[in-house]
Amino acid sequence: MLQNIKPPKKLIYLDNAATTPLDPVVLKAIQPYLTNEYGNPSSLYKLGQKSAEALADAREKVAGILSANPKEIIFTAGGTESINLAIFGIARAYELAHKKKGHIISSRIEHHAVLDCLDALKQEGWEITLVNVNKDGVVEMGELEKAVKKNTVLVSIMYANNEIGTIQPISEIGKRLAGLNRTRINKKLPRIYFHSDGCQAGNSLDLSTNKLGVDLLSINGSKIYGPKQVGALYVKAGTPLRPIIFGGGQERNFRSGTENVAGTVGFATALELAKKNREKENVRLKNLRDTFLTKILKSIPDISLNGADDRITKLNPKLLNGGLKRLPNNINISIKDIEGEVALFYLDGYNIAVSTGSACSSSSPDPSHVILALGKPQKDAFSSLRLSLGKYTSKAELDYVLTVLTILTKELRRIEK
Ligand SMILES: *Cc1c(COP(=O)(O)O)cnc(C)c1O
């Protein structure tokens, strides 16, 4: 269709919010544990103990980045499992201790890993409140406080959104809940535990759990250039949690099953790399993203940005996360009169990988619940495209994408008419 444009040989991968390629450094760290060092960490002879040491070392590294004690880290098989363990773990512990069900607060823009756990609990008789977000996709403190009830036992708010990249004020929510909990003790009301889904946060945001004021934090390897199906749940000491997987008693009884030593070593290595490069990479990505966004909004008519516009934000090292309101690699736009999915397939023809809505729901025709929660009409949800940059994204690649998108939009709109 766009005869005078040739697709590049190398894929232009702009779907880093769905998953990232494995960093070669991570691959190198993993390799021994996929080959010679295959021992079971529970085995008492040298081969097993070498695996146990590698696991302990990974746990210490992850704990360091989360400003936590190694005992507060439970390794899991990814973000979804960490989230399930956090939500069901708190709910089951409460049910067991109090012989009744309670109330949980979350937001309308959570990942399905959270929303579907809450749906399942609702079917069991739990009360669930999903608070609205403002037009930028930010949970407002007032809304959250209004939702609190006498029997609230858990608040789960994601750190950064996977579709529109909005960063939630986790540390403020943490402080407010801590204040509330102090008054609830005197009233003999249950303590409200605070979980955050940090699966989109590992590359760009501060994961110090003491700064965030969370009791539970879910993180994973798949979005930080680490292996997939490996992650961790931070559980603050003293938080009552029931396991959801029973068996051999690994992970201090919280997650039975032979440990994924290779994956865990890779995950810890990936987290360390992300932290080391975070500040520099945030500046680079924000510049790339902001320039691209300004250009695309200027060169294509009737494009709107979904989520917070962070172009005016100047990174301030004194603020948590430099004061960012949106992940620096995230672009989410609605292109009027163009079906996001149609654009996606044309772009694939030009060796450009992007996504519509969230990757996990791209096989279903439902409009994105996140875009709808912003107060936008359905047609904006269907015409949305997410471009998520990564550490291998270059300016030349984005210039090419801009050219293709400009011509493609014109063509598709002409055909539509
Ligand atoms: C990817 C993602 C998850 C799920 O993580 P998996 O490791 O794929 O199970 C959960 N929440 C958010 C925000 C995510 O981006």
Which residue has its alpha carbon closest to ligand 1 atom 1? 199
User: Which tokens in the block code for residue 29?
Assistant: 């760290």
The residue whose CB lies within 8 Å of the most ligand 1 atoms, and thus the one to mutate among 110, 162, 205, is 162
Q: Is the pTM for the entire model greater than 0.75?
A: yes
The kind and range of the H/E element at 379 are helix 378-382
- Give the distance (Å) from ligand 1 centre to CA of residue 156: 14
**Ligand 1 atom with least separation from CA of 160:** 13
358 lines ligand 1 (CB under 6 A): no
Which is catalytic among the residues 52, 245, 360, 372? 360
Pocket test for ligand 1, best of 87, 110, 197, 361 (most atoms within 8 A of CB): 197
Q: Is 360 a catalytic residue?
A: yes
CB proximity list for 415: less than 8 A, separation 6 or greater: none
pLDDT, position 415: 85
Is the Cβ atom of 78 under 6 angstroms away from ligand 1? yes
| 330 three-class SS | strand
Instruction: Give the pLDDT of residue 367.
Output: 92
162 lines ligand 1 (CB under 6 A): yes
What is the 236 CA–ligand 1 centroid distance (Å)? Answer: 21
CA 124 to chain centre: 27
180 Cα to the center of ligand 1, angstroms: 29
**Spacing, Cα 19 to ligand 1 middle (Å):** 9
Cβ of 383 less than 6 Å from ligand 1: no
| pLDDT, position 358 | 46
111 lines ligand 1 (CB under 6 A): yes
Mutate to test the pocket of ligand 1, among 200, 204, 327, 329 (most ligand atoms within 8 A of CB): 200
Q: Rounded to whole angstroms, how far apart are CA atoms 313 and 136?
A: 14
Cβ-based burial of 30 (10 A; exposed 0-12, middle 13-18, buried ≥19): buried
Work out which ligand 1 atom sits closest to the CA atom of 19: 1
Tens-digit pLDDT string for the chain (417 aa): 666 788 899 999 999 999 999 999 999 999 999 999 999 999 999 999 999 999 999 999 999 999 999 999 999 999 999 999 999 999 999 999 999 999 999 999 999 999 999 999 999 999 999 999 999 999 999 999 999 999 999 999 999 999 999 999 999 999 999 999 999 999 999 999 999 999 999 999 999 999 999 999 999 999 999 999 999 999 999 999 999 999 999 999 999 999 999 999 999 999 999 999 999 999 999 999 999 999 999 999 999 999 999 999 999 999 999 999 999 999 999 999 999 999 999 999 999 999 997 444 456 668 999 999 999 999 999 999 999 999 999 999 999 999 999 999 999 999 877
**Ligand 1: nearest atom to the Cα of 78:** 7
CB 155 within 8 A of CB 315: no
Check if the beta carbon of residue 16 is closer than 8 Å to that of residue 392: no
Instruction: Report the distance separating Cα 407 and Cα 335, nearest Å.
Output: 13
Angle between the 261-299 and 395-416 helix axes, to the nearest 10 degrees? 60
Considering only CA atoms, which residue is closest to atom 3 of ligand 1?
79
At residue 137, the pLDDT reads 98
User: Does the beta carbon of 203 lie inside 6 Å of ligand 1?
Assistant: no
Question: What was the pLDDT predicted at 364?
Answer: 60
Rounded distance between C-alpha atoms, residue 234 and residue 75, angstroms? 9
Closest CA to ligand 1's atom 12: 199
Q: What residues have CB less than 8 Å from 247, skipping those under 6 apart? A: 256, 257
